[in-house]
């Protein structure tokens, strides 16, 4: 490892001090540091190279993400199929994906340089919107792909097919299509199951379905899912709750496992169930 990229949430309270500390620590070990352009103003006198968020992953061997889960999700989509390992350091709230605390940051980097950290691979989803058989949008998601009505819209009608075979229909506020990583996010809040994050699977979770028989479904990650909208009202497709595109009646959203996988760095002892207990109070009575 020779080149390390740093991306920080600029308005995080401790971001400026942490970025400066990282630049000094990494430089002392002979590592070249590159800052994301929106992060660079936090260290104006550092004299290090800069790159846009889309360009940065292609210029480094390792990425440190300072912020919350939202920051890491955005960076993960920018990394795409490059396979750059990501270390998420929590400067935000829940920090489910950015599970490394600020106090653990330097020990984590030391352990990574010594080959003592675990690298977990997480599947992503590729979503494509088809309109009159023409592709109008293509998006990547680490957490989820969500089809949802606007605040003032009525219940929407959705038809779902799996591998070209009719599967089910929903009359609901929307539908969440989540990865195992995203199973502990919006899908969980909507009543979906928790999946182990390194599984190869997809969860379909309806949002406030109009029928009691509609329940979350877990599918193999190899399955191609198509959701067709049969409502003429305001409906949005969003990925990871950050990027969206408006849908029209008869649009079809095609979702399948992306070719790219995201590699997250963690301590060996900080396994999934310990994070569940810490962040979601899993198993407490």
Q: Where residue 182 falls among pLDDT bands split at 50, 70, 90? A: very high
R_g of the chain, CA atoms, integer Å: 20
* DSSP-assigned letters across all residues of 220-249: ETT--EEEEE---S-EEEEETTTEEEEE-T
Bridge partners (DSSP) of residue 161 are 166, 226
Residue scoring higher pLDDT (275 or 235): 235
Write down the pLDDT at residue 125.
98
| 11 is an active site residue | no
The reply to whether domains 3-117+267-280 and 124-259 share a CATH topology is no
Write down the pLDDT at residue 209.
92
CATH topology of domain 124-259: Tumour Suppressor Smad4 (2.60.200)
Write down the pLDDT at residue 219.
98
Task: Tell me phi and psi for residue 174, to 5 degrees.
Answer: 165, -170
Map out the domains of the chain as residue ranges.
3-117+267-280, 124-259
Average pLDDT, the chain: 93
Among the listed residues 11, 45, 69, 157, the single catalytic one is 69
**Helices first, then strands: H and E counts in the chain:** 5, 17
Give tens-digit pLDDT for 141-165. Answer: 999 999 999 877 789 999 999 999 9
Cβ atoms of 251 and 131 within 8 Å: the answer is yes
State the CATH class of domain 3-117+267-280.
alpha beta
């Amino acid at each position: 490892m020779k080149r390390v990229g740093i991306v920080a949430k600029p308005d995080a309270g401790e971001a400026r001090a942490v970025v400066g500390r990282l630049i000094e620590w990494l430089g002392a070990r002979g590592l070249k540091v590159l800052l994301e352009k929106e992060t660079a103003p936090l260290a104006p006198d550092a004299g290090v190279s800069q790159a846009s968020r889309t360009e940065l992953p292609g210029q480094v061997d390792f990425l440190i993400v300072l912020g919350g889960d939202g920051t890491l999700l955005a960076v993960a989509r920018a990394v795409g199929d490059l396979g750059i390992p990501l270390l998420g350091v929590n400067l935000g709230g829940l920090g489910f994906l950015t599970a490394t605390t600020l106090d653990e940051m330097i020990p984590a980097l030391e352990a990574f340089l010594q080959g003592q950290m675990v690298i977990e691979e997480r599947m992503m989803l590729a979503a494509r919107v088809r309109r009159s058989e023409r592709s109008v949008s293509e998006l990547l998601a680490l957490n989820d792909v969500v089809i949802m009505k606007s605040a003032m819209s009525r219940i929407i009608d959705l038809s779902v097919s799996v591998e070209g075979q009719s599967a089910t229909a929903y009359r609901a506020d929307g539908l969440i299509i989540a990865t195992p990583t995203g199973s502990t996010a919006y899908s969980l809040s909507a009543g979906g199951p928790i999946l182990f994050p390194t599984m190869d699977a997809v969860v379909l979770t309806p949002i406030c379905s109009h029928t009691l028989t509609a329940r979350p479904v877990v599918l193999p990650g190899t399955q191609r899912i198509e959701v067709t909208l049969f409502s003429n009202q305001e409906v949005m497709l969003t990925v990871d709750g950050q990027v969206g595109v408006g849908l029209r009646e008869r649009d079809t959203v095609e979702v399948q496992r992306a070719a790219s996988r995201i590699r997250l760095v963690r301590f060996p002892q900080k396994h999934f169930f310990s994070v569940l207990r810490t962040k979601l109070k899993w198993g407490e009575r």
